[in-house]
Structure 1
Amino acid sequence: MTTGTGTPVPFGTPETPRVAVRGEALLEVDPEIARIGVAVSARGTDRRAALDDLTRRNASVLELIKSYGEAVEKVETGSFSITPEPAKRGRGERVRAYHGRVHLTAALADFTALGELVTRLGDQELTRVDGPWWALRPDSPAYGEARRRAVREAVQRAREYAAALDAGLVALVELADLEAENAGGYGRPRGIMHAAGFAAESSGLDKGLPALDLEPQRQTVQAQVNARFTMTPPKL
């Protein structure tokens, strides 16, 4: 809506008033995937021996993870390090020991397999397990559902405001994702990832371990939109 000089009229006119509302939606849904972190370690007074031990343990852990087949959607190596530990006493560059570590991450969609896998990983030699971190996939239908509900709420609010003035909605003028207005780019509702407090480090656990009972943590998805409508002249 503009005046005769072309200047925008942000709030409409008495003949074509506008109503501006915000639509919001907040959903709680079950997680779709779980991620775990695995750190494999080795220590020795000889660099080559430490590397050999680390290689062997890393291969054993990877074999165990991949043995779960399709239950594991992704496994990746994050980082590798081999660090010399200087001797506390003596002159020169004497090395007391070498510490090696490999970090892995794995994503699973089968939460029953997850409980068994983390227990078996925790029983591996010098292996630390962290997680799980629950999440939704980037293309989860939950994001679209949150957006649709936010838009429907915006329309409903606008209708209620117009009805309170004995008026009706005429047309949609603008619909904007709240993140687009605040950050200058379109965003998607955020799936909040929570960490369930599981951390295990190998310490000679018994064989034949039962699967750990893990309760998936529900995820929160939020969407917000701003909407502006024109409406018929109110009856004041």
Structure 2
Amino acid sequence: MSILEISGVSKKYGNLHALQDITFSVEPGEWLSIMGSSGSGKSTMLNMIGLMDKPTSGEVRIDGIVTSQLNSKKLTEIRKDKIGLVFQQFHLIPHLTALENVMVAQYYHSMPDEKEASAALARVGLESRARHLPRQLSGGEQQRVCIARALINYPALILADEPTGNLDESNEKIVLELFQELHREGHTIIMVTHAPEVGELAERQIRLEHGIIKEIRTPDGRREAVIQ
């Protein structure tokens, strides 16, 4: 069964068609990048997948659950249980340590566990920075805290929004190597990016243009048929 199924999804804001009849699926353990320039529909697509917005028409299915008719409370529960979010802007709580920021995600899911949160930080190479506040961490370290926070509740899907957009070249390399390692371990990743060199690391790439799928490509250069 697919982790994610997007079927005929469209999103309309007034007269603006942000997405038009989008259909694709993501299999367990796959790394998919969603690419495109500003205004292509990437952010809208991310909001649909992350259950932060509802499509005007069509269906979003997460791990077999049809989400279109669910209320906001149930959508929040699915997002909490099924999706790990990594943001471009980090969204760490400034007065909490790295460890406490990871534990916050546990609190909203089940129960904080300091030992488990420490292991998650060690997983991303930050065991020695656990007691540091966000302002005491580099951009790359903050992003790795975000990844640890996203992983802590064992989500079915990791959804990353421009995860290297605020990083310098050195930290970008570290973060991308971490995503590559997570993929090798079998994690399912959907990464939204405007950067070709980042998107092309994925197994499969969807390129959006003006709210439609322009092409679907695999790393070996093959192009899949696009149904519109």
Same fold per TM (> 0.5)?
A: no
* TM bracket, shorter-chain basis: under 0.3
Larger RCO (CA under 8 A, 6+ residues apart): 1
Greater helix proportion: 2
Normalising by structure 2, we get a TM-score of 0.21
